[in-house]
Structure 1
Amino acid sequence: MARVLYWNIQQFGINKINNPSRKRQRGSSLSGQAASVNRRQYIMDTIVAHPPDILVIVETSTGGGAEGTLVTAGGSQGALDLLNRIRAALGVNWMLVPPLILGVGGVSEGISVYYNSANLNFSGPWGWQGGGNSSDSIANIGAPNLATYAAPWNNCLPAVAVPGGNINAGINSNRLAGQWLFTDNAMPPNRLQFPGVGNRPPYLTTFWEAANNRTIKLLSYHAPPNNVAAANGTNQLSNVREITNDLNADEVGIIVGDFNVNIFNAYFEPIAYNNLISFLPAGAGYTRAINPTANNGWPDKGYVFTHIKTSNKAKPWFTNGYPGYEYVGSNPNFQGYDSIDNILTRYGAAAGGPAANITIINRVTGSPYNRVMPTPGGAPAGHYVYATNMSQIPIGAPNAGLPVALPLPPNGPGGNGGIAPGTIGGLSQFKGWSNYGHIRSTSDHLPLIIDI
């Protein structure tokens, strides 16, 4: 199986992980530069703990440029800086598909897709034509007109031909690109919108996995932050032919993203997902990894929340119980954006499956969620082990390795962890930079990892 790590890292760019500023970081006594080192270490520790085969970072900053062209400015610097750090930690076989600008105007973003070329061959599905042009299909560009990437992207992909019998066989990976434009079946075809003109489209990257003799079709998506647009944009994914009608027997389709639709929302969740997860042939036949808990109240639903509150709203009070307490979810002015990140999979007859070991990587409490067993109502605990990234109780002391600022079961009031509301010093310690502060400064989303 291949392992995929997905993460919406809020406004990802160079300042997130290597900020040159000496000004004080908000919410900390550190400089901006020192704070970015903390964020970078948190990100790298998470990546290295269980190295994936594919890493997807949504919300990469773009700079200026036309849709489908390469991201610039801080986004490009951040993506390349992280590539160098991943290579230093995991090996020079790690590659980056140069991220493209998705959407137009103030809503545009990029998606950075990293992969281990020791296990995978990048096959496009589109090609690169060089200069200031956007990526396009090989048919439109013409294979002889494909170009390699200019600096600073020239060392991101290998000059290695895609193996025979695959998408773009015989073409070097460093002449290929991701796909950002999708069309319907009309003649002439119409561009699919997600859901409106200018909104960010999904981003398709394809890989050949020799060990399992299959192609991985990875569709990454960041929906608009509005319930109606998010639900309709997510629903539109079911019309992307490349991962539905055109998914072959030796191919696995993977959809990852921040869909901005809460899976507990009784009205918008069906609009967003029904066509994706309904059985073939009526639906697209995808299986969703994260689903509503049987009981949609606390503490159960906290096991599947993927969004966390700003530092000034997050609290360690025991009120909602382990693992969510009062830091997961969304702020009052942005209510209902709670369990919005997900991974969906569909396997061709010869492509293996099913997906396994989905884990919400929570570096506040640590993962998996196994401090209360059995979990309430059978809520999913997760599989992969990640320690808290908050300050830990030192080795040799009782509860060593657990967070100092957030008691976990069987500790805390009633044995459920957390802190009694109003405890003097409890809130400020929890929100401190070395605790929740640097985690939330990195992102308002928790990453997901899965074996496919």
Structure 2
Amino acid sequence: MPKKLVYWNVQHFSADKFFARKRRRVGDDQEGWGGNAAFNYRRVLFDTITAHNPDFIVIVEARPAGNIGEGQLLPDPGTMLLLDHLRTYDDNNWALVPPVISGLGNAGEGIAIFYRRSPTLWFTGPWRWPGGAGPGVAAGRAGLYPAAYRYAFSQPIDNRRVPGGSRYNGGQMERRLAAQWRYRDAFGAVRDFGGLGTRSPFRTTFFDSAAGQDFQIVAFHAAPGQWGFPGPVNAPSVVATAAAGGLPEVQALHANETTVFVGDFNVSLFDAVTTGAAYANFPAPAWRRVITQNAGRAMPTTYPAKGYLITHQMGVRQATPSDENGYPAFGYATTEADWYGVYDSIDNAFVRSGAVARATIANIVTGAPYNAVAAPRAVPAGHYAYPSELNDPNTINVPNGYDPDGITFDDEVDDFRTIDNYGLVYGVSDHLPLVFDF
């Protein structure tokens, strides 16, 4: 039976942003919202990630509320608060792989992987939690998580053990297992990903006992830099993604195991040179790329076709409903290079030993799938339905947009940018989610 995964880089995910607004931010006190924006952001987040009943939810960019050291559990309670919200309003079987800090200083953040725990779906590690503050270890005695994450796997607590048929940690207690967050080379040295202090992949494993199938989900938020010397293939984002994809843990081929490598790779899908280097470890047909052109078609080089593949959005002050780039990019999707690089179609996933189906960019600005007009032949329109989260969808005027030379365009831009239209969507994240079956 195929599994469904929702992935989203949720910009600065934290308890403060989605549950208890402690810091005043731009737009918080506008008339339509009162004094607390968290409810509005949480509603959009929840509705989007729970649509279509996924088996896995992967959230990248969870803020730690203070970098207390790599491998340490996130002090910020946001992921556990979201877990409680999922259990209360969607399904009490949701569970969370406790997220740990990866990266030094301001680069440090966590990745949250939620899974719909069932009598046949188990978290299996691949690492173990030694008890107390951790961090996780590859082998040895498994212990208990501290109180803040005690109910991550179930509430009330149970003591179920991983079945013997699993490749990882058969017979171990599920709630004492952990994700892998550190990697070493053949000489025992700690690997880095695009430079010292950068983030590393978050590797998790699961077992479907009914199908006898292992699943490996590796999530990664690559270093953001796109400039490199002597050329772009030496950029931190390219080096990081290539290094993560080349890990022996990712490349090992096992019978009855499906691997998903997913994340924000900070590499533009439209740049053949950098993607060729960054994605070299994911060759077809062994690996299936989730966000890509239709089979046999060249990557689009112009709009509107490029807009069907974009996963990143402009800031509120730059975004417009202009018809310049056509549907669905209009004037809000990131389409041009800035000082730091080109951040347009930068989120993706690769799947090995499993089919990819129904891949969709869950565009909550225009709505999804992209069927308002006939899609260009080069690109897929997506499958799953997501509504526009703009309070007034007419402010984007799908599929026509608005004429930037029109006499009312300034008013149309102002309406589009308001805190209950594009300002709401961008307030949740500057990225669009991906959803796919595998």
User: Structures share a fold, TM > 0.5?
Assistant: yes
1:68 aligns with 2:68: no
Match of 2:423 among 434, 437, 450: 437
Contact 2:67 2:108 in 1 (8 A): no
Tell me if 1:155 matches 2:151: yes
Q: Is the 8 A contact 2:200 2:244 kept in 1?
A: no
Q: Report what 2:230 is aligned to.
A: none
Q: Secondary structure at the match of 1:318?
A: coil
Shift of residue 91, structure 1, vs aligned partner: 1.8
Query: Percent identical across equivalent pairs?
Result: 37
Match of 2:36, SS? Answer: helix
C-alpha displacement at 1:26, in angstroms?
A: 3.1
TM (norm. structure 2) is 0.90
In 1, are the aligned partners of 2:270 and 2:299 still within 8 Å (CA)?
A: no
C-alpha spacing 1:211/1:372, structure 2 compared with 1 (3 Å): farther
Matched, 1:263 2:269: yes
- 2:396 is aligned with 1:406: yes
Cα drift, residue 278 of structure 1:
5.2
- Paired residue for 1:243? 250
* Distance of 1:33 and 1:82 partners within structure 2: 21
Contact map agreement 1:365 1:408 (CA 8 A) in 2: yes
2:324 is the alignment partner of 1:319:
yes
- CA drift of 1:276 comes to 2.1
Query: Mean Cα displacement is larger for which, 87-96 or 12-21?
Result: 12-21
Give the 3 Å change call, closer, same or farther, for CA 330–151 of structure 1 in structure 2: farther
- The match for 2:299 is 294
Q: CA deviation at 1:27?
A: 7.4
Matches within 5 A, 1:348-367: 353-367=354-368
Query: For the Cα contact (< 8 Å) 2:270–2:300, is it kept in 1?
Result: no
From 34, 38, 41, give the equivalent of 1:39: 41
Structure-1 separation of matches of 2:133 and 2:89 = 32
Measured against aligned partners, the alpha-carbon deviations of 1:372-401 in whole angstroms (never above 9, x if no partner) come to 12x113311000000111124xxxxxxxxx
Runs of at least 4 residues of structure 1 off by over 4 A? 30-33
* CA 294–101 in structure 1, closer or farther in 2 if over 3 Å, else same: closer
AA aligned opposite 2:46: M
Query: Could you tell me whether the CA contact under 8 Å between 2:310 and 2:346 is conserved in 1?
Result: yes
What residue number does 1:99 align with?
99
TM-score (ref. length: structure 1): 0.88
Residue in 2 that maps onto 1:219:
218
Instruction: Name the CA shift for 1:18/1:25 in 2 (closer, same or farther; >3 Å).
Output: farther
Does the CA contact (< 8 Å) of 2:29 and 2:35 recur in 1? no
Contact persistence 1:295–1:377 (CA under 8 A): no
Deviations 1:244-272 (CA, angstroms, capped at 9, x unpaired): 12x31100000010000001113211110
Question: What CA deviation, in whole Å up to 9, does each residue of 1:22-52 have, x standing for no partner?
Answer: 8464376156852111100000111222121
Query: Bigger CA drift: 47-56 or 17-26?
Result: 17-26
- The residue aligned with 1:400 is none
Which amino acid is the alignment partner of residue 180 of structure 1? W
Q: State the alpha-carbon separation in 2 of the partners of residues 22 and 291 from structure 1.
A: 39
Stretch of structure 1 that moved more, 232-241 or 28-37: 28-37
1:378 paired with 2:383, answer no
Alignment of structure 1 residues 49-60 onto 2, 5 Å = 49-60=51-62
C-alpha separation in 1, matches of 2:81 and 2:254:
36
Distance in 2, Cα, partners of 1:294 & 1:261: 15
* Residue of structure 1 in register with 2:113 after alignment: 113
Instruction: Work out the CA distance in 1 between the residues paired with 2:417 and 2:28.
Output: 9
**More moved, 168-177 vs 329-338:** 329-338
Cα RMSD over matched residues? 1.8
Equivalent of residue 446 in structure 1, options 429, 432, 436: 432
CA deviation string 1:193-247 (max 9, x = no partner)? 21222110001000002343211100000001102000011001232112212x3
Gaps of 5+ in 1: 280-284, 348-352, 393-402, 410-416
Judge which range, 194-203 or 308-317, deviates more: 194-203
